Amino acid sequence: MNDTPTRIQVAGTAGTAPYEVLVGHQLLGELPALIGRGSHPSSTTAPSGGAARRSGVQRVAVLHPEALSATGEAVRADLAEQGYEAIAIQLPNAEEAKSAEVAAYCWSVLGQTHFTRSDVIVGIGGGATTDLAGFVAATWLRGVRWIAVPTTVLAMVDAAVGGKTGINTAEGKNLVGAFHPPAGVLCDLACLATLPVNDYVSGLAEIIKAGFIADPVILDLIEADPQAARTPEGPHTAELIERSIRVKAEVVSQDLKESGLREILNYGHTLAHAIEKNERYSWRHGAAVSVGMVFAAELGRLAGRLDDATADRHRAVLSSVGLPLTYKGDQWPRLLDTMKVDKKSRGDRLRFIVLDGLAKPTVLEGPDPALLVAAYGEVAK
């Protein structure tokens, strides 16, 4: 096994600093270099009601889900041994972490520990954890540095890269958030060894998405051995993850705030987010994205934009790794209402990312309602 991590550069844009995404094994040793050492006043006097900070010592808040409490505590203890004032903040598991109440709890802890702009947040976990950690970092003192340590396929190839942070509300997913890129991302592939198979396969949806919108080699690798793609022990695991990250890195390096090009990363997501909300976030994100991509492919085909072979390829690739292709037929009215408040909508005009061909994403704006109904009919069960 090659011990040298792959380093993928994400360029700074819109006034943000560039950063690296590291992919490899045993990467936690890279944390101190990313955290750095902040300068603080040489005083050991505690502010009113708080604990004293040792002179020149930096604070680090390690945010982790309950399911990774042992990992979070181990990272906190290791940072403490290296001289940081490290605290651990435990979050609810999965999408339950992405709420205003959980964010407020984190703000309270940061306030009580007198977290300053020189201090750093570390988010360890899946996509929900990195979304929440980034949002807390973006909003505390109007922005502090943070580092993402994604532990799932989904978080590595999507949530942790690109600086999109956010929480969910009763009205929809990720409607409240901020663009706040991390100072670095550590994708330790060893974390995937204990990931449940359904969670691992869910992450493949985002990898397959990257294949359809930008890098068809991803599709070729999966089609060559779909069963091997379903496991972290597969021969192409590192390459699939690295290729997907490179797709996202290239896009967000050109368009951080989704003013144009970055919209292509939402391929399949408009319907997916509506499904997730309809299921009260009990569906895995990748499962919803899989159905969303089939819908987008059918929409593109019916609109005369996408050829039959590429549209059919969606079903073949997604089903080959065990991802779903259909959703409840009677839920269309509710899904449509939710999609109308999607972030990509403009006024009352729905916008969908579709393909003009393999790796040729484009925007379909204000499609005929009958076209939407017909496309949904192709995924309804």
What are the binding residues? 127-131, 151-152, 164, 173, 191-194, 206, 269, 285
Question: Tokens at residue 361, please?
Answer: 């994403």
Q: Which residues on adjacent β-strands are paired with residue 362?
A: 354
313 bridge partner residues: none
Question: Is 258 considered catalytic here?
Answer: yes
Q: Say which of 85, 206, 263, 276 is annotated catalytic.
A: 206
Please indicate whether residue 64 is annotated as part of the active site. no
Q: Specify binding-site residues for Zn(2+).
A: 206, 269, 285
- Would residue 248 show up in a list of annotated catalytic residues for this protein? yes
Alpha-carbon torsion 198, 330, 310, 312, what sign? Answer: positive
Q: How far apart are CA 90 and CA 193, in angstroms?
A: 23
Is-catalytic flag, 285? yes
Q: In the annotation, is 269 catalytic?
A: yes
The answer to whether residue 262 is catalytic is yes
Helix (H) or strand (E) holding 137: helix 127-139
In the three-class reduction of DSSP (H, G, I as helix; E, B as strand; rest coil), residue 310 is classed as helix
Catalytic residue among 258, 263, 276, 298: 258
Q: Which structure tokens are listed for 333?
A: 């009215």
Residues 80/59, Cβ–Cβ less than 8 Å: no
Q: Tell me the C-alpha distance between 299 and 295, whole Å.
A: 6
Quick check: is 315 catalytic?
no
Whether 13 contacts 4, CB under 8 Å: no
Find, among 167, 155, 162, the residue nearest to 181 by Cα: 162
Q: Is 266 a catalytic residue?
A: yes
Q: Which of 2, 81, 101, 142 is catalytic?
A: 142
Collapse the DSSP code of 317 into the 3-class scheme (helix H, G, I; strand E, B; otherwise coil) and give the result: helix
The 10 Å Cβ neighbour count of residue 236 is 18
Residues 127/135, Cβ–Cβ less than 8 Å: no
| Binding-site residue positions for NAD(+) | 127-131, 151-152, 164, 173, 191-194
Write out the DSSP string of 52-119: PPPTTPPEEEEEEEGGGHHHHHHHHHHHHHTT-EEEEEEE-SGGGGSSHHHHHHHHHHHHHTT--TT-
Contacts of 260 (CB under 8 A, 6+ apart): none
**C-alpha neighbours within 13 Å on the C-beta side of residue 57:** 17
Catalytic residues: 142, 164, 206, 248, 258, 262, 266, 269, 273, 285
